[in-house]
A and B are shown apart, each in its own frame.
Chain A
Amino acid sequence: MHAHPFDPYISSASPVHTLDPRIKLGLVLSFLLGVALTPHGAWAALILFFASLASAVVLSGISPLRILRRSLIGLPFALAAFPLIFTTEGAAWFSLQAGSWTITATSEGLLRFLSIAVKSWISVQAALLLSATTPFPDLLLALRAFRIPQLLVSVIGLMWRYLFVLADEAIRLMRARDARSGVLAGRRPGGGVIWRARVAGGMAGSLFIRGFDRADRVYAAMLARGYDGETRALPAPPVAPAQYGILAAGCVWLALLVLAGILIR
């Protein structure tokens, strides 16, 4: 079994795929900023934000169902905002009484809860589109353009390189554990929670040791190939002027949407 399914990149030839990754990251961050700036309850603006994103998804050739399915994973966190329905002050919407308990839901509270949930859902889809249309090395290029220090970018790159190798090791460790865990039919498996946690801890320790050894080997290999501690990268290819135009147009459109959100309620 391999860990390839982790990589969210879906290869395709579409205008969104061929956009410069730096422009794409800039557009996504502007989009997220625009959604964040939209006030609560500005449904018209939020629908327009969603429509803009949906058209980008259609343009990219990625199946919208795929994006929708992946976006639902983060939705349970919306329940953190659930109590807002009952704690925000405003016009009472309904009240529940059970003996001496009274909970009053307000329409303002419901508005805030739904706004937060919808904005979060739209934001996560924008990030999903970015990772589905941008291969990882291009994302690193975008990070460099956004002035992330070269050391961090190199460490992230090396991490990605060895992530799938070590994820495979973790999967093999778990498979070995399963192979050594016998269960008699109709009986509870032996060992309490503490014992199981200690076994998992041993697996984590084993993974760390393999990591340290691998890091030593990688370092030796890098030294043998002339590594001197300085991480260098090829000069980044220039961004085509037309792409800057796309970024500017996108930002203007997003600013208009935010304005619409503030003015139309």
Chain B
Amino acid sequence: MLLHDLRSAWICHRPLWMGFGLTGIWLATTAMHIPDGFLSLVVALIFWMLAILAIGYALSRVRGELKERQVPLMGVLAAVIFAGQMLNFTVAGGTSGHLLGAALATILIGPWPAVLVMTCVVSVQALVFQDGGLLALGANLFNMAVVGVFVAWGVYRLIRKITPDARWSRLLAGFLAAWASIEIASLAAAIQLALSGTSPANVAIPAMAGIHAIIGLGEGLITVGALTFLMAVRPGLLDGQSAPGESRLVWIGGLVAAVLLAVLSPLASAHPDGLEWVAEQTGFLDTAQGPAYEIIPDYVLPGISNAAAATILAGVLGAGIVLTAAWLVSRIRKRSASG
């Protein structure tokens, strides 16, 4: 039954998969900065509000943590990220890979200063270089300065918690954090485009997710290269980031955001019309509050196909397993340390 659903979905949407290739290539060349005109006003305003809330909170946190050093440190690092985005490496033939820098900044200076640093970079890119629109700036800030930073932080802290304190664990954590930050931020951008009705969800989401999965590899590799260099030249730089006052809430919040977006996307990508998807999403939420459903192949939630339901379940189960494992490992470590 599941296979039949998947096959029929492929056949119905085959013409749209043709658009995938062309769209994907162009989306990749223009990365994640959404220009003006592509987001509906409602979507743009909602994400402006979310971005302002997050950045406002980051401002108050940074004032308390960094005090006087904040302005010179964040100013120069913002310039570093901006300049670092010029660095490129040849991938194949004429294409080259670039750095976004959110993950590297987060690992080096912590999530809250990284939010402000990325805010400055993305804002100036929009205002002065027209890399991204001005009305769409709120959404771009949300994607790159908020989602990108917190997903990177959540993944980095999670991997560091469940692996021993070694050189390879930092590099693995850095690679996965960089890849996840690019991938999840691109999913957020795709969902914004779908909600605005600019790009049908079943093309935008797979296109963005697929292309940025590959771009994320480049970001991960550059981040690993940078971390290797920094560990060799300035080993102390990477050790000062687990601040004693850092609450569990922050990195778990980042992980929750990642899982939420990763789980919403396959759901959304089953429907071409973004607004229609929102209506069905609300229908799904109402249904989920009713009696629990079983994983029976023939059962179909109203409006949602089996494939999407199975994906969501897998995502939620997977996240639950990983988080439980992380918690268990940290408990075992604590017990063996005190015993």
Contacts and interface: CB of A to CB of B under 8 A. Distances in A.
Given A70-B130, A167-B83, A204-B222, A79 B200 contact: no
B75 A154 contact: yes
B117 to A, nearest CB: 8
Given A102-B15, A136-B128, A174-B87, A204 B226 contact: yes
Contact of A214 (B63, B76, B234): B76
A93 interface: no
B316 to A, nearest CB: 29
B227 interface: yes
Given A198-B224, A200-B97, A208-B108, A152 B116 contact: yes
A123 interface: yes
Interface in A145-177: 149, 151-152, 154-163, 165-167, 169-171, 173-174
B72 A127 contact: no
B79 A128 contact: no
Nearest to B231: A205
Contact of B41 (A36, A170, A193, A207): A36
Residue of A131, A170, A194, A200 ringed by the most chain B CB atoms within 10 A: A200
B15 to A, nearest CB: 4
Interface in B79-110: 79-80, 82-84, 86-92, 97, 99, 101, 104, 108
A77 interface: yes
A87 B41 contact: no
Contacts of B38: 77, 80-81, 116, 120
A244 interface: no
A246 interface: no
A196 B76 contact: no
Contacts, number: 292
A42 B77 CA distance: 45
Given A82-B19, A155-B75, A198-B221, A124 B36 contact: yes
B237 interface: yes
B175 to A, nearest CB: 10
B222 A200 contact: yes
B79 A163 contact: yes
Given A103-B15, A152-B120, A202-B226, A163 B83 contact: yes
A79 B26 contact: yes
Contact of A219 (B26, B62, B73): B73
B contact patch SS = helix
B72 A158 contact: yes
Contacts of A194: 221
Interface string A21-65: 000000011001101110000000000000000000000000000
B226 A208 contact: yes
A202 B225 contact: yes
Nearest to A220: B72
Given A152-B120, A162-B76, A76 B30 contact: yes
B26 to A, nearest CB: 4
B315 interface: no
Given A29-B134, A202-B229, A196 B90 contact: yes
Contact of A155 (B35, B116, B223): B116
Interface string B20-38: 0011001101100011111
Nearest to B223: A201
Nearest to B28: A76
B228 interface: yes
Contacts of B182: none
Interface in A199-217: 199-212, 214-215
Nearest to A125: B130
Interface stretch (A10-18, A226-234, A248-256): A226-234
B119 interface: yes
B72 A218 contact: yes
A167 B86 contact: yes
5 contacts: A123-B37, A159-B76, A209-B230, A212-B76, A215-B76
Interface of B: 14-16, 18-19, 22-23, 26-27, 29-30, 34-38, 41, 44, 55-56, 59, 62-63, 67-80, 82-84, 86-92, 97, 99, 101, 104, 108, 116-117, 119-121, 123-124, 126-130, 133-135, 193, 198-200, 203-204, 218, 221-230, 233-234, 237, 272-273
